Structure 1
Amino acid sequence: MEIRLLLLDVDGVLLHYQRPQRVMHLAHALQRSSAQVQAALFDSGLEIAYDAGELDTAAYLDQLSEALQTHVDATTWLAARVAACRPQLAVVQRLLAIDERLPLGVLTNNGPLMAQVLPILLPGLHNRLQPRVLCSGMLGGRKPDPALFKRALQRLDVEARHTLFVDDLFVNVRGARAAGLHAETVRDGRGLGKVLKRYAIL
């Protein structure tokens, strides 16, 4: 078994993400209540639609602006997303210790704007991930759909049997396995270390 690509989830693996913090930050920036932001972004299904590629970024921001009756631009959106995240440093350290000959990539359930968050929060690791940062919204689907993993591997030009995928949610791990990838659940640096040793990557 030769692993030629390590594919990583973002929220819950590379980053610790707090949705309530994001909602509060956006509410403060837009002078709206947290309840209004929660309803417009999440309860409405808008975020899921963007994650699934049903809307492009311009349409997504336009619909969010309309729902909140104020202008929401990408800069404001990014600031709120960044404020709600912090790097999982133990995970990042283990990844940076991997031989640079092994490519690292990302497959996250997010719209394309999320790709702009990674260089801000993970500047050192981001260079190792390029140009293999894939958001589900770019591929027209969401994990755990096995078809999404297959489209991702086509984009990355690597075979499933040579790919190891890690995610904090087992449902996504199961979807990856259904698509033929090696896949494991990882939530912290210790867990990642065990997986890397099991696959003889570290």
Structure 2
Amino acid sequence: MLEAVLFDMGGVIVSGPWEGFAVYERANGLPEGLIRRINSTDADSNAWARMERGEIGLEEFAAAFEAEAVALGYRVDGLAVLDGLGGELRPAVSEAVRRCSERLKTGLLTNNYAPMASSERSAEMVEVMGWFDVVVESSVVGVRKPDPAFYTMACEALGVEPLGCVFLDDLGVNLKPARAMGMTTIKVVDPDEALAELEAAVGFPLRG
């Protein structure tokens, strides 16, 4: 029986970072997809991964990230890349979070580089965050998706088993371990299609 719905943040509740990456690449004459390429090289030990686990600060990240870009033959500004990470809230998805929170346990599972202090969030986002029973942030717990320990932390905090969870993320690499643990997974490419899948999983309307 379904007990909990788990949501990713970027690319699910808000638009993903890929748009910001693309804007930076175009503005600086860089190849399309370069930043994703840098982040996929040594994906568990590169600068981005270490930053999201809270192992290095922003200045150390910038130096390491820029060195990784140079190794691929390009020059980037690590801090400028981070500046483009803000996403736009997706109202339909936030409404789905609200409706799920009324009937099921809810969790937010996000890889980030700094804790989401309420003082730095909009009133709308503060409201959305209030609908989650549990928030698991990589920068706080020192573990990041797709490490299975990250999902285990969320389940333990919610008091549920993976088999009782459905998890939405925009990256297949993050869904794979969750699925292996027994969770129902939904890859978010088109938000409306993903919400239709979620409605089928939970058995009640989330839209309209």
Give 1:142's match in structure 2, choosing from 136, 141, 144.
144
Q: TM-score, normalised by structure 2?
A: 0.66
After superposition, the C-alpha distances for 1:143-167 in whole angstroms (9 at most, x for unaligned) are 2232321132223332212221111
Asked if the contact 1:146–1:178 (Cα under 8 Å) also holds between the matched residues in 2, the reply is no
Q: Aligned partners of 2:173 and 2:63: how far apart in 1?
A: 34
Assess, with a 3 A threshold, how the Cα gap between structure 1 residues 170 and 177 changes in structure 2: closer, same or farther.
Answer: same
Asked if the contact 1:167–1:186 (Cα under 8 Å) also holds between the matched residues in 2, the reply is yes
Assess, with a 3 A threshold, how the Cα gap between structure 1 residues 201 and 114 changes in structure 2: closer, same or farther.
Answer: farther
After superposition, the C-alpha distances for 1:146-192 in whole angstroms (9 at most, x for unaligned) are 23211322233322122211112223222101122222223303321
Assess, with a 3 A threshold, how the Cα gap between structure 1 residues 127 and 79 changes in structure 2: closer, same or farther.
Answer: farther
Asked if the contact 1:96–1:125 (Cα under 8 Å) also holds between the matched residues in 2, the reply is yes
After superposition, the C-alpha distances for 1:68-99 in whole angstroms (9 at most, x for unaligned) are 9xxx99xx9997543xx111222122332336
Give 1:164's match in structure 2, choosing from 163, 166, 175.
166
Which has the higher mean CA deviation after the structures are superposed, 3-12 or 144-153?
144-153
Structure 2 unpaired stretches of 5+:
67-77
Q: Aligned partners of 1:156 and 1:98: how far apart in 2?
A: 14
In the other structure, the counterpart of 1:91 is 93
Q: CA deviation at 1:9?
A: 0.8
How do 1:68-83 residues align onto structure 2 when only pairs under 5 Å count?
A: 81-82=85-86
- Report percent identity of matched pairs: 25
Amino acid at match of 1:197: A
Q: CA deviation at 1:201?
A: 4.1
Asked if the contact 2:186–2:197 (Cα under 8 Å) also holds between the matched residues in 1, the reply is no
Amino acid at match of 1:10: M
Q: Aligned partners of 1:64 and 1:141: how far apart in 2?
A: 17
Asked if the contact 2:17–2:85 (Cα under 8 Å) also holds between the matched residues in 1, the reply is no
Give 1:102's match in structure 2, choosing from 88, 101, 104.
104
Asked if the contact 1:107–1:134 (Cα under 8 Å) also holds between the matched residues in 2, the reply is yes
Query: What's the C-alpha RMSD, in Å, of the aligned pairs?
Result: 3.6
Q: Aligned partners of 1:174 and 1:147: how far apart in 2?
A: 13
Assess, with a 3 A threshold, how the Cα gap between structure 1 residues 63 and 158 changes in structure 2: closer, same or farther.
Answer: same
After superposition, the C-alpha distances for 1:15-54 in whole angstroms (9 at most, x for unaligned) are 11245637979xxxxxxx898xx7xx96993222122x25
Q: TM-score, normalised by structure 1?
A: 0.68
In the other structure, the counterpart of 1:17 is 16
Amino acid at match of 2:50: A
| 4+ residue segments displaced more than 4 Å | 22-25, 41-44, 64-68, 76-80
Give 2:181's match in structure 1, choosing from 179, 182, 193.
179
Give 1:60's match in structure 2, choosing from 57, 61, 80.
57
Asked if the contact 1:94–1:189 (Cα under 8 Å) also holds between the matched residues in 2, the reply is no
Assess, with a 3 A threshold, how the Cα gap between structure 1 residues 151 and 93 changes in structure 2: closer, same or farther.
Answer: closer
